[in-house]
């Protein structure tokens, strides 16, 4: 198993998490290669966050195995983060929450996400978009191999959403880190996603975003233009086991799966991983993070 997964940052096989008498997720297979962007989508309560947490070791799985690359550096932007008002914390101070960094590195990181002018501001006073950018800068400051973003556009208006996704794409391109993105939005995912995993307690389907995968231009992932930051990825569930309006579509034939087939559990994801992983891994070597 070790030898097989040397090219992968994280290799999850048949992972399940059991809490309070029920399986939050089960039988999840997910392999994340270097430099790959993977998006987890699914309705509320479908186990996206749980899957991501199991991948990076925040949650211990009750079934299956998770193999992580040695010395894997993770940068994490959680779904919910509210700094208690009793805790004074400037933007600059928050940057070094889990890692050391000098002032110029911090300044550069804040500059990258466009909030350098807020370095002295208290985090409580930031707007939703500014705070998300600060969290992104903080996670990137660690020079992570894998950036995990749980609903990163939460509390951000639509134009800010587009800008934030573009920023994430840019950061990925320049840093070469893999990205595990979680979105509850079934309609909009990042254009540059290598692979989409649709969850609903288990892996409903997995594959590249249909419309993008169809075009050969998309295969040259890094050549794609930054302007194309969003892609519409339509996916309608043919089953309605959660009372969520978003997936309760009447038509079951209205599928737009494209290359994405149902239940990839048995299939190896290796091909997609290597394709995207090879160039990124090469660039990663230049960085040589500590």
User: Residue 81 interacts with other proteins (CB under 8 A)?
Assistant: yes
Among 93, 255, 257, 274, binds other proteins (CB under 8 A): 93
Per the CB < 8 A criterion, the answer to whether 180 and 212 are in contact is no
Torsion of CA 277, 279, 282, 284, to 10 degrees: -70
119: DSSP letter: T
Beta bridge partners of 178: 146
Query: Interface with other proteins includes 105 (CB under 8 A)?
Result: no
Q: Which of residues 182-241 bind other proteins (CB under 8 A)?
A: none
Question: Nearest CA to 64 among 182, 267, 202, 183?
Answer: 202
Contact (CB, 8 A) for 191 and 224? yes
**Which listed residue (99, 105, 211, 240) binds other proteins by CB under 8 A?**
99
Q: Applying CB under 8 A, does 131 fall inside the site for other proteins?
A: no
Name which of 228, 214, 221 is nearest 258 in CA terms: 214
CB of 140 to other proteins, least distance (A): 12
Widest distance between CA atoms in the chain: 56
Among 1, 3, 70, 86, binds other proteins (CB under 8 A): 86
Among 5, 67, 122, 154, binds other proteins (CB under 8 A): 122
- The reply on whether position 83 binds other proteins by CB under 8 A is yes
Residue from 44, 97, 185, 263 that binds other proteins (CB under 8 A)? Answer: 97
Find the shortest distance in angstroms from Cβ 146 to other proteins. Answer: 10
Cα–Cα distance measured from residue 15 to residue 267, given in angstroms and rounded to the nearest whole number: 15
What are 150's strand-pairing partners?
182
Q: Which of 6, 44, 65, 88 binds other proteins (CB under 8 A)?
A: 88
Total residues at the site for other proteins (CB under 8 A)? 25
Interaction mask 49-78, other proteins, x per CB under 8 A: ----x--xxx---------------xxx-x
C-beta of 93 vs 262, nearer to other proteins: 93
- Asked if 41 touches other proteins (CB under 8 A), the answer is no
| Interface of this chain with other proteins, residues 20 to 39, rule: CB under 8 A | 20
84 binds other proteins (CB under 8 A): yes
Segment near other proteins (CB under 8 A); pick from 83-91, 168-176, 184-192, 213-221: 83-91
DSSP states of 243-267: --GGG--S-SS----TT-EE--TTS
Q: Does 98 bind other proteins (CB under 8 A)?
A: yes
- φ/ψ (deg, to 5) at 18: -110, 120
Give the β-pairing of 178-183 and 37-41: parallel
Among 90, 127, 174, 252, binds other proteins (CB under 8 A): 90
Report whether 10 contacts 72 (CB < 8 A): yes
Give the DSSP letter of residue 255: -
Q: Which residue is associated with the tokens 């983060």?
A: 81
* Shorter beta-carbon distance to other proteins: residue 97 or 108: 97
Q: How far apart are the C-alpha atoms of 91 and 241, rounded to whole Å?
A: 42
User: Which residues contact other proteins by CB under 8 A?
Assistant: 20, 53, 56-58, 74-76, 78, 81, 83-84, 86-90, 93-94, 97-99, 122, 142, 148
């Amino acid at each position: 198993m070790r030898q097989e997964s040397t090219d992968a940052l994280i290799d999850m096989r048949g992972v399940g998490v059991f809490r309070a008498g029920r399986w939050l997720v089960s039988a999840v297979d997910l392999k994340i290669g270097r430099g790959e962007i993977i998006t987890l989508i699914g309705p509320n309560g479908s186990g996206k966050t749980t899957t991501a947490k199991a991948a990076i070791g925040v949650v211990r799985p009750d079934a299956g195995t998770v193999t992580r690359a040695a010395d894997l550096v993770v940068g994490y932007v959680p779904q919910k983060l509210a700094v208690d008002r009793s805790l004074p914390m400037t933007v600059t101070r928050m940057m070094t929450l889990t890692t050391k960094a000098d002032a110029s590195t911090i300044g550069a990181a804040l500059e990258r996400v466009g909030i350098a002018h807020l370095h002295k501001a208290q985090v409580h006073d930031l707007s939703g978009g500014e705070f998300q950018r600060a969290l992104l800068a903080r996670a990137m400051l660690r020079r992570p191999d894998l950036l995990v973003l749980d609903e990163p556009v939460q509390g951000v208006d639509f134009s800010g959403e587009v800008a934030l996704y573009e920023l994430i794409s840019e950061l990925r391109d320049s840093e070469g880190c893999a990205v595990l993105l979680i979105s509850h939005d079934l309609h909009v995912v990042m254009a540059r996603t290598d692979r989409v995993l649709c969850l609903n307690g288990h892996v409903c389907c997995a594959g590249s975003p249909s419309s993008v995968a169809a075009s050969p231009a998309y295969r040259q992932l890094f050549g794609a233009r930054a302007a194309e930051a969003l892609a519409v990825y339509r996916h309608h569930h043919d089953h309605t086991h959660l009372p969520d309006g978003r997936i309760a579509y009447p038509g079951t034939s209205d599928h737009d799966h494209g290359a994405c087939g149902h239940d990839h559990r048995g299939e190896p994801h290796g091909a997609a991983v290597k394709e995207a992983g090879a160039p990124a891994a090469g660039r990663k070597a230049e960085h040589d993070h500590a």
